[in-house]
Chain A
Amino acid sequence: MSKETRWDSMIHEDRQQGIFKVNRRVFVDPDILAAERTAIFETCWIYTAHESEVPSPGSFVARSVAGKPLLLSRDRSGTLHVFYNSCKHRGALVCRDNSGRARNFTCPYHGWVYGDDGKLVHQPIAESYAPDCNAEGELNLERVPHFAIHAGFIFVNFSADPISLVDYLADAAEYLDHVHVQGADGMEVIGGTQTYSAYANWKLLQENSVDGYHAESTHATYLSYIKDREGDVRNNYGRVFGRVRDLGNGHAVSESVNGTPWGRPSARWMPSWGEDVKHHIDAIYAEMTERLGEERATFLCHGDRNMLIFPNLIINDVAGLTIRTVYPKAPGYFEVSAWALGAKGEDPVIRDLRLRNYVEFLGPGGLATPDDQEMLELCQRGYAAMPGPSWNDLSRGISLEEKNASKMDELQLRVFWRRWHDLVRAEAGRSVS
């Protein structure tokens, strides 16, 4: 069977029968992962960094993005550059720090020096080279083909001729705006990165991050902890809870207003935070109401949003506000980096509360995320049962998805999978032709 035929059968959808199934091979097959690297990670816009991480002339960030070492440098004139972090001589990383300030980047191997704008400015014993060896700039640090910024979020694209970032983001652009406007002066990444991993396929984390249905079973102990502390808490988990929107191009949001049991530092107070904190929370709500109007302030402050930006970005605006990327290292192993966002210049009381509240639920030491990781690993282990059970069922709410998709349904997962299938199938078509 050709790859094309094989991959055409990875998703089975029959809306009339109300069926949506994903073949479990997509989680274990190395050929699928190879196709994803090309069809998805080399084709889509990939989140790279937040503007606040390269705030001023001389700031840089070096990190791996879709497996590629990148270097973001804001030069002395304030222009942002995104380079491959690889010397044009023999390829060594020219920057070995994750972030900081630098005027130059010196390759540690033979000492080639690049300016903060990527220009080659020094080669030791330069007289042994032709005088015009860099006349065309071919020895300067190489730029990624494309980068673009929306609402402070920096994305790169490794393909030759991509659609614009704003077209790619489609309706998700508006949701990035919803993050950005929460600070009167914009938002910033707070120091400290949660780097973690799990022995599971990366797509399982994307599903899990926007899946409302698992909360009551996977996180029962977390929910009882909140209930124990807060007493009678908001908890609307039921058949119809919040809504899901298909944001286009594989992006989706799962959202609700006042439906979840946790507090939001920006800005939904809970009793256990105490009366002392309440006026700080009220001040945030008042400022946003003044600046953005009451309707939007209520939506932003009292609502929760779990956003999936295809393919590998999650922005959870819940008990904390997190930017999270996931990359596959193998079909059964993924790596995560997660950052916390906060309003620039925010009240120290709120900043502290934000960080306390974030790690209560979120992250590899939180009271909830480790149980998610465990569930994904249990799924991955379950896939070893193939060719026994070979299909995952994601049919929940399919008959209602056009008009009434609830957070408890699985539309958001299907949105991801439909886009995934289109891209991977197209790649399979190319590789067999």
Chain B
Amino acid sequence: MSSAFPRSEVEDFLYREARLLDNWQLEEWAALFTEDGSYLVPSTDAPDGDPSTTLFLIYDDRHRLDQRAKRLLQKGAHAEYPHSRTRHLVSNVIVEPISELEARVECNFVVYRSKGEIKDVYPGHSIYHLLKQGGDFRIQSKRAVLDLDTLRPQGKVSIIL
């Protein structure tokens, strides 16, 4: 059953996702999601919360994550103009197949962000639900949990984690 999600392939997929983000190919990033895909970032004091009953930082369905990506590429997305420079590092990948076509994937991440005088570090871990569709992986959900007690001094999550 695990053959549909060999760890090396999942890792390659996560690395490609990280490269898209660091290259600001954000619409290509959004296209990795399924039609019902979601992108979630819980509040720092509620890492295990449910977004329908707990205030999150980001609670995007597919439409909103598409728009988030599109908006960030515009000059009017002021917090990211000029674009910050980011570097996403992904490691400690654990794959738990759920079925032939679905797997739960955990990984650790560190995202470095530099913009002008600002240098921010976002440490955390992500939980993905990946689907196998037409030979490719697609993200049904990505929950990026920041390992921070407060979002300070980073102050905002204007990039995609």
Contact = CB atoms under 8 A, between A and B. Distances in A.
A388 B64 CA distance: 43
A427 to B, nearest CB: 28
B155 A360 contact: no
A99 to B, nearest CB: 9
B21 to A, nearest CB: 15
Interface in A212-249: 218, 220-222, 225, 228-229
Interface string B42-53: 111110010111
Given A355-B55, A365-B156, A225 B150 contact: no
A370 interface: yes
Contact of B158 (A194, A197, A360, A370): A370
B4 to A, nearest CB: 32
Given A98-B45, A196-B155, A351-B52, A365 B63 contact: no
Interface string A20-40: 000000000000000000000
Interface in B18-73: 41-46, 49, 51-59, 61, 63-64, 67-68, 71
Contact of B55 (A335, A339, A348): A339
Contact of A367 (B53, B54, B67, B118): B67
Which of A197, A228, A365 has the largest number of chain B CB atoms within 10 A?
Answer: A365
A218 B74 CA distance: 12
A198 B155 contact: yes
B156 A190 contact: no
Main DSSP-derived SS at the B contact region? loop
Nearest to B77: A221
A198 B151 CA distance: 10
B89 interface: no
Contact of A192 (B54, B68, B156): B54
Which of B49, B58, B118 has the largest number of chain A CB atoms within 10 A?
Answer: B58
B155 A197 contact: yes
B152 A193 contact: no
Given A190-B55, A197-B155, A355-B54, A365 B77 contact: no
Contacts of B68: 367
A373 B155 contact: yes
B59 A355 contact: yes
Interface of B: 41-46, 49, 51-59, 61, 63-64, 67-68, 71, 74, 76-80, 118, 150-158
